[in-house]
Amino acid sequence: AQKITQTQPGMFVQEKEAVTLDCTYDTSDPSYGLFWYKQPSSGEMIFLIYQGSYDQQNATEGRYSLNFQKARKSANLVISASQLGDSAMYFCAMREMLSGSARQLTFGSGTQLTVLP
Amino acid sequence: DARVTQTPRHKVTEMGQEVTMRCQPILGHNTVFWYRQTMMQGLELLAYFRNRAPLDDSGMPKDRFSAEMPDATLATLKIQPSEPRDSAVYFCASGLVIGGRMGETQYFGPGTRLLVL
């Protein structure tokens, strides 16, 4: 079974609008971390935001916020006030702290976001 | 501004040739990861080091791939002999484990784009 599912291969958003990128995850581990990375066309992976499974509040980093719904096992990324420079591939990832894969990140297939002028 | 560096950024080689990719982790980080990204497989973990010792290389084809950390400032990933199916982007990432608990994220280098003809 897929551990990380990103159901939106591509998304379009108008500049200055907000956009939500979906991510659902599957784990039986009670302790885990959820991450979002941005990969622009230049290819580098840029860390955006982190949410721990025990964190009570949703994580925020500037224009990025993570809508964490633990019961639904979803960790959607919300980008407010989109900018042209936000056009990139976005990956959701998870690290399970107690299982054998505690050391690595498991990535979703990504969502290609295009911000329209 | 501490960053993970990788060399070369691009490599084109012929099938059968040896390829060596290098990574300099962020100073002070004690964990190093090698990932491979392809269109078909997405991001896959190849190897993981902590304090220069290999902890997990189960994702790596053993017959042709090898990963080492000659010192704390250098990690290498070698392919010998290379094959066309090895064409991918290879990312190095580093992180910090304190007291057995990993910090919140891994920081990625810019990647090495490998093409094997």
| Helix or strand (DSSP H, E) at B85 | none
Instruction: Give the distance from residue B2's alpha carbon to the nearest chain A alpha carbon, in angstroms.
Output: 13
* Residues 6 or more apart whose Cβ sits within 8 Å of residue B38: B44, B87, B88, B89
Q: How far is CA B105 from the centre of its chain?
A: 16
The pLDDT of residue B98 is above 90: no
**Partner-chain contact A43 B113, CB within 8 Å:** yes
pLDDT tens digits, one per residue of A64-117: 999 999 999 999 999 999 999 999 999 999 988 765 544 577 899 999 999 999
Structure tokens at B16: 């059968």
| Nearest one of B18, B42, B23 to B34, comparing CA atoms | B23
CA distance A33 to A35: 7
**Mutate: best of A39, A66, A104, partner B, most B CBs <10 A:** A104
DSSP string, A10-63: EEEEETTS-EEE--EE----SSEEEEEEEE-TT---EEEEEEETT-SS--EETT
pLDDT tens digits, one per residue of A33-77: 899 999 999 888 998 999 989 888 999 999 999 999 999 999 999
Where do the DSSP E strands lie in B16-61?
Answer: 19-24, 31-38, 42-50, 53-56
What integer pLDDT is reported at residue B103 of this predicted model? 61
Q: For chain A, say whether B45 makes contact (Cβ under 8 Å).
A: yes
Instruction: Give the distance from residue B18's alpha carbon to the nearest chain A alpha carbon, in angstroms.
Output: 24
